[in-house]
Structure 1
C-alpha cells in the first residue's frame, strides 16, 4: 500500500472517528480528542466548501459532543443516522432490540469485562477488556438474531454489533455523493476497521482514494499507520490549501 496523495480542493473528504481521528480507548467514553483536532476539521470544512463528513459507528450526538462546537455533516451508527450539509437529519426506524439487549446484558452480568452499548437502532457488545470472550460473544449474538432477517451481526475491533440489515458506511457515503457540496467531487475516505471496507468499496470505483488506517488486510490502496499520521496528513493538507498562491516572477 502507498501513502495517500495530497488532498485537493475538489475533494469530498469522509473520515471515520474511532481509530482514525482519535486513538481507540478501553471504553467508548475514554477516548481523547487532540486539542488541535476540532479547529483543524473546521478549517478543512471551510477550505473544502463544506465537503467534509464524519462517517462513524457512533451516534451523531456523541460525535457532536466530542467535536463541539462543530456540527459537521455526519453518518452515525454506520449509516442508520445521517445529517446532510444543510443540517437535515435522516434516521432509520429502530427495530425491536429487546431480546438482543437482554442477551447482551445477561452476558455482561455473567462475564467480567464486557460492556453493552445501547444505540438508537443497534446494540454493541464490547469485549476489548476480555478478548478471550470473542467466541462467547459472537455465538450468543448469533443465537439471539437467528430467524430475524431484518437484523445482522457486524464484527468490528473487539465489538459485535447487532444492527438493521443492509445498512453500511458505503451506502451513507454514496448518499452524500449525490448531494451538495459533495456531488461532483473526488471522494476520499479514511477508516481503520473492517466496518469501513464498505466505504472503501464505494470510493475507489469512483476514482477516489481509500485509506486504511493501521495494520490489517484491506481493499484500500493507501495506508496511514495511526491516527497521529492521519492528523499530520490533514494538517499538511490544511496548510497547503491556506498557503498564498505563488506569484509569477517578473519578466
Structure 2
C-alpha cells in the first residue's frame, strides 16, 4: 500500500481519530470493501487488491482486540478471497450473511433468491453486452458500468419482479449497479448484529463506507454514539466526505494500527 499525506482532518474525522488513538480499546471498526478499502473497478472481479492489505487489517484487529469487521454487499466468501489469508468477522450481501467470529461458519440469514429472477437477470445480461448479473445467494446485483445505456431497461425488469413479490425484496441502487436484497435487511441491521457480539459489545462503533448502501450502517453507528465516516467518490463529493478516497482510508488505518513503515506500492489482481 502507498501512504499518502493525510490532509487536514475535518472536525468529525479529527474527533474520531483523537479518540481512538487515545483509547483504542474503547472502539470497534466496521469497514466496507469496494470504494472504501479498494478502488472501484469496471467489474467486481477486476478489482486490484493493495499489497499488504491483509497484514494491515490483521494489525488493526490485534490493536483493537478483535473488534474489526467487514460489512459488505459482497459474499463473505469473496471477502475472504480478497483478504486471504486473513479472515475477519463479517457481514455479506447487506446483512443476509453473517460470520460472527473469524473461525466461525458463515450463517445465511435468509433463503436464496427465487430462481426465476436469477435466470431473468442472466438472460438480460446475455442480451446486453457489458451488463453483468451477479447472483449472491440471498441477493443479486446487476452491474451496468460498462453499459450505462441499459439502466432503464434493467430497472424496469427489477421493478416488475418486485411487483410480483410485493414486500419480500427491496431494490438498492448503487454505483452503476442495482441490487435486490431481502426486505428488512441492510448494512445497518448487520452492524447492529455484529456490534452485539462479545468482541464488539460496549465499544464505540466506527463505520467507514462510500455508497448509499452504507447509509443505514452510518445511522446505526451514530445511533450508538459512534461515527459514520464517508469516503469520497461517485456518491459522496469531497465536501461531504471525511476521506478523499480508498488511499486516504488506508493511510488512516495505518495510523490507527501503528504501522511502523509503509510498504512499496504493489497490487495483485483478484
Q: What TM-score results when the alignment is normalised by the length of structure 2?
A: 0.84
Could you tell me which of 228, 243, 249 is aligned with 2:247? 228
**RMSD between superposed Cα atoms in Å:** 2.1
**Residue 219 of structure 2 is aligned to residue 171 of structure 1:** no
The CA distance in 2 between the partners of 1:192 and 1:95, in whole Å, is 26
Q: 2:211 corresponds to which residue? A: 193
Q: 1:116 corresponds to which residue? A: 133
| 1:107-146, Cα deviation, whole Å (9 max, x unpaired) | 1122111001111111211001011221221111111221
- Matched ranges for 1:20-169 at <5 A: 20-85=36-101, 87-148=104-165, 149-169=167-187
Q: State the secondary structure of the residue aligned to 1:12.
A: strand
The CA distance in 1 between the partners of 2:48 and 2:201, in whole Å, is 32
The CA distance in 1 between the partners of 2:113 and 2:49, in whole Å, is 33
The CA distance in 2 between the partners of 1:44 and 1:101, in whole Å, is 38
**Structure 1: 5+ residue stretches without partners:** 242-251
- Indicate if the aligned counterparts of 1:156 and 1:195 stay in contact, CA closer than 8 A: yes
- Indicate if the aligned counterparts of 1:3 and 1:222 stay in contact, CA closer than 8 A: no
The CA distance in 1 between the partners of 2:169 and 2:55, in whole Å, is 38
Q: 2:200 corresponds to which residue? A: 182
Distance 1:157 1:34, change over 3 A: same
Question: How many residue pairs end up in the alignment?
Answer: 241
Q: State the secondary structure of the residue aligned to 2:206.
A: strand
Q: Shift of residue 151 of structure 1?
A: 1.4
The CA distance in 1 between the partners of 2:208 and 2:113, in whole Å, is 32
- Indicate if the aligned counterparts of 2:113 and 2:139 stay in contact, CA closer than 8 A: no
The CA distance in 2 between the partners of 1:166 and 1:180, in whole Å, is 24
- Indicate if the aligned counterparts of 2:28 and 2:206 stay in contact, CA closer than 8 A: yes
Q: 2:224 corresponds to which residue? A: 206
- Indicate if the aligned counterparts of 1:55 and 1:169 stay in contact, CA closer than 8 A: yes
Structure number with the bigger relative contact order (C-alpha 8 A, sep ≥ 6) is: 2
Q: 2:30 corresponds to which residue? A: 14
Q: What TM-score results when the alignment is normalised by the length of structure 1?
A: 0.90
Moved more, 89-98 or 61-70: 89-98
**Structure 2: 5+ residue stretches without partners:** 1-9, 261-270
Q: 1:247 corresponds to which residue? A: none
Moved more, 91-100 or 193-202: 91-100
Q: Shift of residue 96 of structure 1?
A: 4.1
Give the ranges of 4+ consecutive aligned residues of structure 1 lying more than 6 Å apart after TM superposition.
Answer: none
